[in-house]
Amino acid sequence: MDAGLYSLLADGVLILHASYVLFVIGGQALVVAGWIRRWTWTRNRWFRWLHLAAIGFVVAEAWLGVRCPLTVLENALRGLAGDTRYEMSFIGYWLNHLLFYDAPECAFTTIYTLFGLLVLVTLALYPPRRT
């Protein structure tokens, strides 16, 4: 395959990864806003359980020391394209790249865990509606 195609596929994985992060963070912000503003759609069971599963997957990866499959895939595609690969996690790379923030991986594990607990607490205090 052409290096340009590998690079394009890597960019597609990057967009998918960024969308996943946006769903986890933005989803929690929307749930809290919906709780305050009494939006009924934020109590949708599918949305809430999918949101919990998304952050749960991230927390499990962090605790088990598993690299994110999307980061691994993107790095493999970038390598095939001859591009630069990440030396750290996706979030760590982009925080460092965008905000010049550097932290050990255990800091991100702590952040993911606390965020996961926040999602669980929100789920308990503002549960999805039963149909």
Q: What integer pLDDT is reported at residue 11 of this predicted model?
A: 82
pLDDT digits (tens, 9 = 90+) for 108-123: 899 999 999 999 999 9
pTM greater than 0.75 (yes/no) = yes
Percentages of the chain per state (helix, strand, coil), in multiples of 5: 80, 0, 20
How many C-alpha atoms does 127 have within 13 Å on its Cβ side? 4
Q: Give me the residue spans of the domains in the chain.
A: 3-125
